[in-house]
């Protein structure tokens, strides 16, 4: 084999690592598992396929799916963000106070929430990308910091009198178009745009290159620190958007439990969807499938009248299987190199 042919093959293998398949085998498996669960639940609990049940499931899927987009981008760079529940809390209480107490227009307040989320994400991004501190350490610290900020904004009180204008992103009739939740439609649009960007734009493929080998990516001309910084800013921005959906459901009162456990739900959805915990591989489409599986399990457990703890058990099992499969794939890939 000539030197030119060898170089061409090397570049081809590099592109293959950076650019993931359009739909992976794990995503096909997820689609099959979800379809099987829906069939089982349709027979086990007739109410599962009722329009309101499906609409409610899709609405609950939306905020987790939106945050999973950002988590996918971060995890393909071999990072992680466990502060998103605290960011969601800060954005939610800020948004709630703006519309309930300051009388601000909901959409304008939502933009403020997204901007605030981006700022908090930028804090993580600066410390991780330019401070060169492991993401899990930084985001664990900022999670506590942001939670403290959120509690101070709450000021040991609930936010009462949330206006009906927030219902446009809620699960009710005013929050649906042709029976489909608007929040779910927004999620689909964002997932489509993110999928196209990550797969077909050089800037999107840079995230995969960083997760695969940051040193090699830097030598190839990728601004590694800037890309990692942007990943966390995007994560914060999407959390700020998810806050608008989160407060749109439920009662007109917002309490300090808002956002609790959402970081685990989002990470679970992303990992179950096939994003590698080691970086370099992942898909927003898979992350949304993972989120749909998690929400399907939660809905099924509730409608079957089983203890809610079983939902966490099943999700935990799915995570272990997904991570195990990822480790096996990684070992096989390294063995072929």
pLDDT for 9 equals: 41
Percent of the chain exceeding pLDDT 90 equals: 76
Distances (CA, A) of 332 to 293, 328, 335: 27, 6, 5
* Domain 26-32+50-336 indexed as CATH 3.20.20: no
Percent of the chain exceeding pLDDT 70 equals: 93
pLDDT for 156 equals: 84
pLDDT for 7 equals: 45
What is the distance between the alpha carbons of residues 125 and 59, in angstroms, rounded to a whole number?
29
When pLDDT is averaged across residues 19-31 and rounded to a whole number, the result is 77
What are 199-209's pLDDT values in tens digits? 999 999 999 99
- Confidence check: pLDDT of 329 > 80: no
Q: How far is CA 315 from the centre of its chain?
A: 16
pLDDT for 15 equals: 44
pLDDT for 317 equals: 92
pTM comes to 0.91
């Amino acid at each position: 084999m000539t030197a030119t042919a060898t170089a061409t093959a090397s570049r081809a293998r590099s592109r293959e690592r950076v650019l993931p398949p359009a739909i992976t085998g794990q995503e096909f498996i997820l689609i099959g598992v979800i379809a099987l669960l829906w069939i089982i639940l349709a027979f086990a609990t007739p109410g599962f396929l009722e329009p309101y049940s499906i609409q409610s499931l899709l609405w609950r899927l939306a905020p987790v799916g939106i945050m999973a987009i950002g988590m996918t981008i971060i995890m393909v760079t071999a990072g992680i963000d466990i502060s998103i529940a605290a960011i969601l809390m800060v954005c939610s209480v800020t948004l709630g106070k703006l519309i309930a107490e300051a009388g601000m227009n909901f959409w304008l307040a939502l933009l403020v929430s997204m901007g605030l989320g981006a700022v908090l994400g930028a804090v993580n991004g600066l410390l991780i990308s330019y401070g060169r501190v492991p993401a899990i350490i930084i985001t664990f610290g900022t999670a506590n910091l942001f939670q403290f900020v959120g509690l101070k904004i709450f000021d040991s009180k609930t936010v009462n009198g949330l206006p009906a204008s927030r219902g446009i992103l809620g699960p009710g009739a005013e929050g649906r178009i042709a029976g489909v939740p608007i929040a779910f439609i927004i999620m689909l649009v964002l997932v489509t745009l993110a999928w196209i960007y990550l797969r077909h734009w050089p800037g999107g493929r840079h995230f995969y290159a960083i997760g695969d080998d940051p040193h090699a990516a830097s030598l190839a001309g990728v601004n590694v620190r800037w890309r990692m910084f942007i990943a966390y800013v995007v994560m914060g921005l999407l959390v700020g958007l998810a806050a608008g959906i989160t407060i749109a459901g439920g009662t007109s009162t917002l309490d300090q439990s808002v956002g609790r456990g959402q970081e685990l739900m989002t990470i679970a959805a992303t990992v179950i969807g096939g994003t590698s915990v080691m970086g370099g591989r992942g898909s927003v489409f898979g992350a949304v499938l993972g989120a749909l599986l998690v929400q399907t399990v939660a809905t099924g457990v509730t409608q079957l009248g089983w203890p809610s703890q079983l939902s966490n058990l099943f999700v935990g099992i799915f995570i272990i299987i997904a991570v195990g499969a990822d480790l096996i794939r990684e070992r096989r890939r390294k063995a072929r190199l």
